[in-house]
């Protein structure tokens, strides 16, 4: 990859870190060749599907700062849409997945329109209400189109022509490819005019609007993009599980996903991957103690939000900044604040959880409760 | 006619119990500007306290209510100290509502799963606070339990109104809701007031839990449905408006009672959510809420 271009895309990435990232991807790609345990591989694949979904949510929640809590409905509808096509038409399965993504984008834009008048907590209530309605409609669907609460009738999936072991590998590599591609795509979009506009609207809506950045246009675009990725994730879920049911929506899956995003670092590029991995490890280790499992996840969430506002990505960035500032202290003391800024993490705008300069000036020191 | 009487009776009962849970959320939103997602867990804790005292210990029902009130008051105060107080420094940040939404949600998750670990997933019967019933109209039977539920809810809501209107602490809470900085300058001990507000709101949900536990069951997820219903009520009434919440509770109760009679219980929540979508699209500030400036 072109060094100059890559540095513009990820200003934080040195060639050493690039090689580390490539190594990690290569190691992950080689993993199924050495691991023959199908259960472990399937855990990896489902985690990666969830990661695609979390990346799409991170884009709308962290980068665009729209508190959309209906993403799981978009995810599910993408899956159901692809499933209905797969069952009733002879389209190639890959096309079904793409159409699933398009359905996700369409649903997401549909959901975006009423939220344009709203802000903050009201957006989350409206989108959550939307998701609940979708779940109830599917649960109580008697028409046989979605299978209702019993789940969708079995579909073939993407790789029905392969043996079970080979198809597991195929799904694994497909998902890895989708993740790498969407990471690059999201990074590109985040650095583009669209991404800058979204962050401006997130951090200072009035200023952004006054500068001619249309919240309407950019929010709808953000919803569409994020919905497309969520729809793809839903369709891939359907293909891999060969079915889908309404239990992938609702309060519990949503709280897990939010935890993953917040732990990793909202609005960052690598936050979703880190958060999804950590929560999945906790879940897998404590799989026999459902109560303890979610208690631990809840405590994680609480501690991270209260003590580590930027998530783990933000924490790493801060520690690194502190260290390099400390190292440079002796050399050039006057330049310290600039030096700290230079090493801030890549996507590490640390999402909506970061205190913002503009708002700091309005907050008088008396606000800090004793 | 039987339908009509049935609907009216159900409206009063549902509205009172929704009001009790929702009014706590409104109180918290009005004073602290946070949407407290742990209120549902307080209902669940109240149900378990009710189960423990009425079924395990066979004590007086009044004690169940008193204990539920006390336990959830303490828990609510602790929730505030753990999940909200450390964040008060970021109160003016644009995302404060969302951050506290997430932390209180985390508390709800912890409480629910600790209950799951301690009590197990099974549903437990809670004996009604009072047994028996009265036939109000042909075929419309009204259990005393429901009457007690409605009466105590209305009493508590009235009591809260008196508390806020007449007492020193109540007036301090209202002062903080109106203007935090001015209240602080007048010597209101804000950092003590916040936990008390949240404890008070939680204890209302806890008392509701004792009754709801008898109506349904006591189990770890018992708080989810009341939480969703309370959310609908507070949005409908306008976040932060106490009278709006009380009206909205009865309107929502009426809508639900009507839906249940004519369409069946499975439709009541989707229809309520439809109503909420409609309200948020056309009148985002709710029935009596004031339009807030933090909106496009």
Of all residues in chain B, the one with the smallest CA distance to A364 is: B92
Note the pLDDT of residue A238: 93
Return the percentage of chain B with pLDDT > 70, whole number: 96
**A121 closest CB neighbour out of B87, B88, B101:** B101
CA distance A59 to chain B (A): 16
Note the pLDDT of residue A48: 94
ipTM over cut 0.90: no
CA-based end-to-end distance of chain B: 47
CA distance B183 to chain A (A): 12
Q: Residue A10 — very low, low, confident or very high, per pLDDT cuts 50/70/90? A: low
CA nearest neighbour of B210 among B58, B51, B75: B51
Residue B239 forms contact with A (CB below 8 Å): yes
Note the pLDDT of residue A355: 40
Of all residues in chain B, the one with the smallest CA distance to A253 is: B109
Residue B186 forms contact with A (CB below 8 Å): no
CA distance A6 to chain B (A): 32
Which chain A residues contact residue B39 at CB under 8 A? none
The b/e string for B22-49 (b: 16+ C-beta within 10 A; e otherwise) is bbbbbbbbbbbbbbbbbbbbbbbbbbbb
B:8-37 residues touching chain A, CB 8 A cutoff: 35
Q: Residue B291 — very low, low, confident or very high, per pLDDT cuts 50/70/90? A: low
For residue A183, pLDDT beyond 50: yes
Q: What is the pLDDT of residues B238-275, one digit of tens each?
A: 777 888 888 889 999 999 888 888 887 777 788 888 88
Note the pLDDT of residue A360: 38
Residue A291 forms contact with B (CB below 8 Å): yes
Is pLDDT larger for residue B93 or for residue B22?
B22
Return the percentage of chain A with pLDDT > 90, whole number: 25
Note the pLDDT of residue A201: 87
Which chain A residues contact residue B189 at CB under 8 A? none
Number of H helices, E strands in chain B: 11, 2
Note the pLDDT of residue A11: 64
CA-based end-to-end distance of chain A: 52
Q: Assign B133 to helix, strand or coil.
A: strand
**How many residues does the structure list for chain A?**
370
Q: Residue A356 — very low, low, confident or very high, per pLDDT cuts 50/70/90? A: very low
CA distance A183 to chain B (A): 26
Look at the domain B2-121+142-280 and name its fold. ABC transporter involved in vitamin B12 uptake, BtuC (1.10.3470)
CA distance B55 to chain A (A): 24
Q: What are residue A190's phi and psi, to 5 degrees?
A: -60, -35
Note the pLDDT of residue A220: 92
For residue B31, pLDDT beyond 90: no
Note the pLDDT of residue A72: 94
For residue B217, pLDDT beyond 50: yes
CA distance A55 to chain B (A): 19
> What's the mean pLDDT in A266-279?
88
For residue B174, pLDDT beyond 50: yes
Of all residues in chain B, the one with the smallest CA distance to A68 is: B98
For residue B96, pLDDT beyond 60: yes
Note the pLDDT of residue A31: 87
CA–CA dist B77, B55 (Å, integer):
27
Residue B82 forms contact with A (CB below 8 Å): yes
Residue A215 forms contact with B (CB below 8 Å): yes
Q: Assign B142 to helix, strand or coil.
A: strand
CB contact under 8 Å between B109 and A119, yes or no, is no
**Highest mean pLDDT out of A180-189, B123-132, B175-184:** A180-189
Note the pLDDT of residue A13: 66
Q: What are residue B218's phi and psi, to 5 degrees?
A: -100, 120
> What's the mean pLDDT in A286-307?
86
Task: Give the containing element (helix H, strand E) for B143.
Answer: strand B140-143
CA–CA dist B35, A121 (Å, integer):
8
Enter the DSSP assignment of B52: I
Domain spans in chain A, listed from the N-terminal domain onward: 14-249, 252-355
CA nearest neighbour of B24 among B215, B232, B245: B245
CB contact under 8 Å between B93 and A364, yes or no, is no
CB contact under 8 Å between A369 and B116, yes or no, is no
Return the percentage of chain B with pLDDT > 90, whole number: 16
E strands, A226-340, are none
CA–CA dist A252, A275 (Å, integer):
16
CA nearest neighbour of B250 among B5, B19, B25: B19
């Amino acid at each position: 990859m072109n060094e100059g271009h890559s540095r513009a895309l990820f200003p934080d990435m040195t060639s050493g870190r690039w090689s580390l990232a490539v190594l990690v991807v290569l190691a992950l790609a080689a993993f199924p060749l050495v691991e023959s345990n199908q259960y472990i591989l399937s855990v990896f694949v489902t985690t990666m599907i969830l990661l695609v979904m979390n990346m799409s949510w991170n884009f709308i929640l962290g980068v665009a700062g729209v508190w959309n809590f209906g993403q799981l409905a978009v995810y599910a509808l993408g899956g159901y849409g692809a499933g209905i096509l797969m069952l009733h038409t002879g389209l190639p399965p890959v096309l079904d997945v793409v159409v699933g993504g398009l359905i996700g984008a369409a649903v997401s834009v549909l959901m975006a329109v009423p939220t344009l008048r709203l802000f903050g907590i009201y957006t989350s209530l409206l989108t959550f209400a939307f998701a609940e309605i979708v779940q109830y409609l599917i649960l109580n669907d008697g028409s046989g189109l979605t299978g209702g609460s019993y789940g969708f009738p079995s579909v073939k999936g993407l790789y029905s022509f392969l043996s079970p072991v080979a198809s597991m590998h195929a799904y694994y590599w497909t998902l890895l490819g989708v993740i790498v591609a969407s990471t690059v795509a999201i990074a590109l979009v985040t650095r583009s005019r669209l991404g800058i506009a979204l962050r401006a609207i997130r951090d200072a809506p009035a200023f952004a609007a006054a500068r001619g950045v249309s919240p309407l246009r950019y929010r709808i675009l953000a919803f569409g993009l994020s919905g497309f990725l969520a729809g793809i994730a839903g369709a891939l879920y359907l293909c891999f599980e060969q079915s889908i049911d309404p239990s992938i929506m609702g309060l519990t899956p949503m709280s897990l996903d939010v935890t993953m995003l917040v732990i990793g670092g909202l609005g960052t590029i690598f936050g979703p991957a880190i958060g999804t991995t950590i929560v999945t490890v906790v879940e897998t280790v404590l799989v026999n103690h459902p109560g303890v499992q979610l208690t631990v996840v809840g405590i994680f969430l609480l501690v991270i939000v209260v003590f580590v506002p930027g998530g783990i990505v933000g924490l790493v960035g801060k520690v690194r900044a502190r260290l390099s500032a400390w190292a440079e202290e002796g050399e050039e003391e006057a330049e310290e604040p600039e030096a700290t800024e230079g090493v801030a993490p890549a996507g590490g705008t640390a999402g909506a959880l970061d205190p913002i300069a503009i708002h700091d000036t309005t907050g008088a020191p008396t606000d800090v409760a004793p | 006619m039987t339908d009509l009487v049935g609907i009216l009776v159900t409206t009063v009962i549902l509205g009172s119990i929704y009001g009790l849970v929702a009014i706590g959320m409104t109180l918290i939103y009005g004073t602290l500007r946070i949407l407290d997602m742990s209120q549902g867990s307080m209902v669940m804790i109240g149900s378990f306290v009710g189960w423990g005292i009425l079924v395990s210990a066979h004590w007086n029902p009044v004690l169940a209510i008193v204990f539920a009130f006390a336990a959830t008051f303490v828990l609510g105060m602790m929730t505030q100290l753990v999940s909200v107080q450390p964040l008060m420094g970021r109160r003016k940040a644009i995302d404060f509502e969302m951050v506290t939404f997430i932390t209180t949600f985390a508390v709800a998750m912890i409480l629910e799963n600790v209950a799951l670990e301690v009590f197990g997933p099974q549903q437990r019967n809670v004996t009604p606070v009072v047994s028996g019933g009265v036939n109000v109209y042909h075929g419309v039977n009204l259990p005393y339990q429901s009457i007690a539920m409605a009466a105590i809810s209305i009493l508590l809501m009235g009591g809260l109104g008196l508390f806020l209107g007449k007492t020193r602490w109540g007036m301090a809470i209202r002062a903080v809701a109106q203007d935090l900085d001015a209240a602080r300058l007048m010597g209101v001990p804000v950092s003590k007031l916040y936990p008390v507000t949240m404890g008070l709101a939680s204890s209302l949900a806890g008392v509701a839990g004792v009754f709801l536990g008898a109506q349904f069951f006591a189990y770890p997820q018992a708080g989810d449905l009341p939480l969703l219903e309370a959310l609908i009520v507070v949005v409908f009434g306008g976040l932060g408006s106490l009278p709006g919440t009380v009206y909205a509770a009865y309107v929502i109760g009426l809508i639900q009672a009507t839906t249940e009679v004519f369409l069946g219980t499975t439709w009541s929540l989707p229809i309520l959510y439809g109503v909420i979508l409609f309200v948020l699209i056309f009148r985002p500030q709710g029935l009596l809420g004031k339009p807030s400036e933090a909106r496009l």
